[in-house]
A = this chain, B = another copy of it.
Amino acid sequence: MAGNSFGEVFRVTTFGESHGPALGAIIDGCPPGLELSEADLQRDLDRRKPGQSRYTTARREPDQVKILSGVFEGVTTGTSIGLLIENTDQRSKDYSTIKDLFRPGHADYTYHHKYGVRDYRGGGRSSARETALRVAAGAIAKKLLQQQFGCEFYAGVMQIGPHCIDRDDAAFDWAQTHENPLFMPHADIAEATGEYLRDLLKQGDSIGARVRLEVTGVPVGLGEPVFDRFDADLAKALMSINAVKAVSVGDGFAVAAQRGSEHRDEITPDGFVSNHAGGVLGGITSGQTVIAEVAFKPTSSITREGRTIDVHGQPQTVVTRGRHDPCVGIRGVPIVEAMAALTIVDHWLRQRAQNADVWKYGKS
């Protein structure tokens, strides 16, 4: 009911505020028998963690995760897994001046009206800091999927402001996402975008981004129509990430201009001829690569003055100094992967509940 859980079988529940003593998660429903160590989680956490380049917040958090239960002698036991990350670099004083203000574009206004009280330090619960636990949980999901199906996750920034990457560009290369701090799959565009961002930082402004995800190896048969379709739950998963404003699967909004004869993916004995659908038919995965894109809005924490009101309804202006990302979409990349992995694992396990007997046919 209250919404701090994700998934039905592989269920992740999180807690923690930006400036509280710690954040944590419980994962309930992880199958037993998976080899798992804290290092498995740390790899993805390190990709998300702040303070790694000039393009992300200067806050420095080691984001060291501890596994408190559910793993015995290096193997998951099927019982609930407790995760904990302690906060170490909270500078609460940065925020005291905006205690009574509703920063425009932030959740201050809505949290205030919904809950009556709120932890205003660093956005409290509404801070993207909670996504650290999504990434930790997602790392477990990814390991399961890699072992079970050989799934591979590819994600990167396709657009930042005017700088766009074309998926069909000959220089497009997923491997590049590990080579530049913008997680962009195109070396030249990444470099040009870096310059653009440095200029933007000088102006005290921020910018939006578009992130693309491709997952290979997802088996046919995942998704529970008519409401819990795979793509519907994936859309929810991705839209639940801070700052995301749009989600598409396959050709996305471009389908509004496509004809049926152009869009439908024909099938031959060698498999599907194309993948306009993005790996989902009738809400169920088809065995093709799952393709999705999301748009991240520009962060509202900028040093350019904006108009707002305070809790008493009085007009105010606000400038957010603190430590903030100029483009939150960049650090969004591992979060997009994590949420996709959680969605796939959950639907894999859901599928087994009702259809475990069919499953063997499903894979052939």
A192 at the interface (CB under 8 A from B): no
Give 26 A-B contacts (CB < 8 Å), ordered by A residue: A1-B29, A1-B349, A1-B350, A2-B354, A21-B66, A21-B68, A69-B125, A75-B117, A77-B118, A78-B358, A104-B265, A105-B264, A109-B220, A109-B281, A110-B220, A114-B220, A126-B282, A206-B261, A210-B256, A232-B236, A246-B246, A246-B249, A247-B248, A273-B307, A349-B354, A352-B352
Chain B residues near A150 (CB-CB < 8 A): none
> Are A226 and B4 touching (Cβ within 8 A)?
yes
Chain B residues near A314 (CB-CB < 8 A): 269
Chain B residues near A113 (CB-CB < 8 A): 220-221, 284, 287, 361-362
Chain B residues near A245 (CB-CB < 8 A): 231, 248-253, 255, 277-278
Main secondary structure of the interface of A (DSSP, over half): mixed
Name the contact of A24 in the complex, choosing from B68, B159, B161, B221 (C-beta under 8 A): B68
Nearest CB on B from A265, distance (A): 6
* Surface stretch bound by B, among A6-14, A39-47, A57-65, A176-184: A6-14
CA distance A362 to B117 in the complex (A): 11
Chain B residues near A239 (CB-CB < 8 A): 229, 231-232, 234-236, 247, 249
Contact residues of A between 167 and 214, Cβ < 8 Å to B? 200, 205-210
A interface, size bucket: 35 or more
A263 at the interface (CB under 8 A from B): yes
